[in-house]
Amino acid sequence: MPTQKKSPPKHIAIIMDGNGRWAKSRGLQRWEGHQAGAESVKAVTEGCIEAKVEYLTLYAFSNENWNRPKDEVDALMKLLERFLKKKSKELKENNIRLQAIGNLQDLSPGALKALEKTIEETQDNTALTLILALSYGAREEIVHGVKGVLSDINDGKLDPSKIDTEKFSEYLYTARTPDPDLLIRTSGEKRLSNFLLWQISYAELFISDKLWPDFSKEDLLEAIEDFSDRERRYGEV
């Protein structure tokens, strides 16, 4: 009897955790850990393309990260700007489309400009959609969605009786993106950290003990293999 080919996840979301600890363990500055982590982004995008994953969402900067020391936040914004300028050509060459979710207007002017430029330049690419969650928080996203629903009801654009989970999803940042099938978190932590709380309701979880800068393409492919061996029941028997 022929073996049935395993299906990869259509959408992978990753909480990239451990940059600071990676740097501290090596006697480096925290920003150097973030810089090293940027190389892991390249590795996992290559892995996703190889595995035929269609969407990859990376938790790059949370709403809570604004509370970090100003010098670290400034370094992160400069790193994001440099990353986008440096990787824009590479994204185009690898047929990767860039998108972003979150309170993007909070980003530094330079980072926002580089982000918008790269999104525009890669909008027709088809091999992989890479989504950066920037200045993002899931609770804030849900509140944003509720306000959108209330606004449309008040304007007569939405019948309250028509609201269900599918309709509400249209008011979230991820309205045109399928929900993640697999959520990966690095550094061994076992919490969701206010990331895609609505969208990961039925996602499979994979916890890696590796710090993000040490997370390789092979680690990603291992997580995908683990996912493919699971039976997803969605609450059924």
Nearest to 228 by CA among 1, 47, 10: 10
Residues 6+ apart with CB under 8 A from 17: 185, 186, 187, 189, 193, 211, 212
Crossing angle of helices 70-93 and 109-121, in 10° steps, is: 20
Q: How far apart are CA 52 and CA 204, in angstroms?
A: 18
Q: How far apart are CA 33 and CA 102, in angstroms?
A: 23
Whether 211 contacts 22, CB under 8 Å: yes
Set 65, 94, 103, 125: catalytic member: 65
Annotation says 65 is catalytic? yes
Annotation says 19 is catalytic? no
Residue 207 backbone zone (phi > 0: left; psi -120 to 50: alpha; other: beta)? beta
3-state secondary structure 117-148: HHHHHCCCCCCEEEEEEEEECHHHHHHHHHHH
Residues noted as catalytic: 17, 65
